[in-house]
Amino acid sequence: MEKIDVIIKIIPLVITIVIGYFLYKRNIISDGVIDFLKKLVVTITLPASLLLSFIQIKFQTVYVLIVIVIFVVCLLLLFIGKLIARIFHIKSPYFPYLLTGFEVGMIGFALFSGIYGTEAISSLGIIDIGHELFIFIVLVPSIMLSTAKKTNKSKAVQSLTLASKAPVVWAIIVGVSLSIAGIYKLEGSMIYTTIIDSLRFISTPTAFIICLVIGSGLKLSLKGMKLEVITAFVKVAIALVFAILLSKLLLAPLKLDNLDIALYSMFVLPAPFVITVFMDRSNKDEVNYVSNTLSIGTIIGVILFLVISLL
CATH number of 3-310: 1.20.1530
Taking 60 as the threshold, does the pLDDT of residue 153 lie above it? no
pLDDT digits (tens, 9 = 90+) for 8-24: 888 888 899 899 989 99
Where along the chain do its domains lie? 3-310
Residue 293: per-residue pLDDT: 92
CA dist 261 and 266 (Å) reads 9
What's the pLDDT score for residue 235?
A: 97
Percent of the chain's residues with pLDDT above 90: 40
The amino acid at residue 97 is: Y
Q: Would you say residue 85 has pLDDT above 60?
A: yes
3-state secondary structure of 134: helix
> Among 123-132, 164-173, 267-276, which stretch is predicted with the lowest mean pLDDT?
164-173
- The pLDDT score that the predictor gives to residue 210 is 85
DSSP string, 171-197: HHHHHHHHHHHTGGGGTTSHHHHHHHH
Give buried/exposed letters for 105-133 (b at 16+ CB in 10 A, else e). Answer: bbbbbbbbbbbbebebbbbbbbbbbbbbb
Confidence of residue 90 (pLDDT cuts 50, 70, 90): very high
Convert the pLDDT of each residue in 259-281 to its tens digit: 999 999 999 999 998 888 778 87
Q: Residue 106 in contact with residue 38, Cβ under 8 Å? A: yes
